[in-house]
Amino acid sequence: MMNVDDETYRRAGSAAAGGPPAALALTGVTRRYGRRGAAVEALRGIEVELPRGSFTAVMGPSGSGKSTLLQCAVGLDRPTAGSVRLGGQELTGMGRRALTRLRRERIGFVFQSFNLLPALTAEQNVGLPLRLAGTGSRRARTLAREALGRVGLAERAGRRPAELSGGQQQRVALARALVTAPEIVCADEPTGALDPATAEEMLGLLRGAVDMLGATVLMVTHDPAAAAHADRVLFLADGMLVDTYVCAGSADGADGAGDRSGDARTGAAAHIARRMRALAGRTRSGAGPRSGPGPGSGPGSGPESVGGAGSVPPADGGRAAAGRAA
Ligand SMILES: Nc1ncnc2c1ncn2[C@@H]1O[C@H](COP(=O)(O)OP(=O)(O)OP(=O)(O)O)[C@@H](O)[C@H]1O
């Protein structure tokens, strides 16, 4: 395993390189909350592209901007500056209704707390996005059953959430996220409420959605073992993208490419955990979430970079690392 340059991601995802547009592209994304002296810069100049059919994890200390990044990426929040493109379409200028529709039809969501409707059966929950998009009930039912079959819950289609275990509920949520064949699946701590064995099952299903269905997954997690299932891990600190790690099992991992064994993942998880510890140490030692605009004191601007080849050179306030993750 190693931390390699993200050239492959740039090539695979960049419309500028003549290929199809990336599933998702963030350019110079900044999100500032509040005003003047009380302003918090939750994101500062994020540059990232997610190629189609890739699995990207986002990690970082508490308050580093992970949720804000996810929300800006899927049109739930609006960047203060910068561009967010889904399949080449710019989201930042879209109206609220158009964004709601786009999210419903083109983005799948999986949340830590499952977010299933308790009065509906598993099948009805999974079919709901289709029904909202105008699909007829019979067709929605067929597709929902297929999606439930893919997560191993065909037999539970008639159960309500309260009659399912936590892991089963999260599998229903994944089936619901995938049923519209979305351009991106956005997973916010999808294993946060699951025990380790159930979490592994869930991550295997997410990984399978990428490998078998060609889904593009963007997942926020605090868990290095979960992140190790991804192709690439982005590390945020103080609103900046300060490091990236390409997992061994990724087709792009130069060392151990394609090795998705448990051993490879364990090694990747240990490596990711070390980088997180380094980031947490740096954040504790003085670079909390920034107040007010301006470059300078983030973890990426310290005397040494965090973690290796994808890290931030000290002089540029983090923008170079952001560029490398594009
Ligand atoms: N609505 C808001 N108003 C003001 N500040 C906000 C708002 N949302 C987030 N922030 C601030 O932006 C920064 C980034 O927050 P964010 O929730 O994105 O971090 P995070 O990495 O997801 O944290 P955690 O791991 O604790 O969930 C924090 O300093 C937070 O306090």
pTM: 0.82
Residue 284: per-residue pLDDT:
54
Residue 280: pLDDT band with limits 50, 70, 90? confident
Residues 203 and 306 grouped into a single domain: yes
Distances from the Cα of 229 to the Cα of 146, 199, 200, 268, 291, angstroms: 24, 11, 9, 9, 34
CB-based pocket (< 6 A), ligand 1: 33-34, 40, 42, 60, 62-68, 289
Average pLDDT of the chain?
82
The answer, yes or no, to whether residue 4 has pLDDT greater than 50, is no
Chain segment 60-112, per-residue pLDDT in tens? 999 999 999 999 999 999 999 999 999 999 999 999 999 999 998 999 999 99
Check residue 291 and report its DSSP letter: B
Cα 263 to averaged position of ligand 1 atoms, centre (Å): 34
Cα 254 to the chain's mean position, in Å?
Answer: 23
Residues 154 and 187 grouped into a single domain: no
The answer, yes or no, to whether residue 324 has pLDDT greater than 50, is no
Question: Which is the closest atom of ligand 1 to the Cα of 70?
Answer: 18
Question: Which is the closest atom of ligand 1 to the Cα of 31?
Answer: 12
Cα 227 to averaged position of ligand 1 atoms, centre (Å): 20
Chain segment 283-306, per-residue pLDDT in tens? 655 444 444 433 333 333 332 233
Residues 195 and 318 grouped into a single domain: yes
Please state the ipTM of this predicted complex: 0.98
92 is a domain residue: no
The answer, yes or no, to whether residue 320 has pLDDT greater than 90, is no
Domain that holds residue 302: 7-87+183-324
Cα 59 to averaged position of ligand 1 atoms, centre (Å): 13
Cα 63 to averaged position of ligand 1 atoms, centre (Å): 5
169 is a domain residue: yes
Residues 169 and 47 grouped into a single domain: no
Sheet holding 89-90, edge to edge: 40-50, 24-33, 81-86, 89-90
Mean pLDDT of 189-217: 94
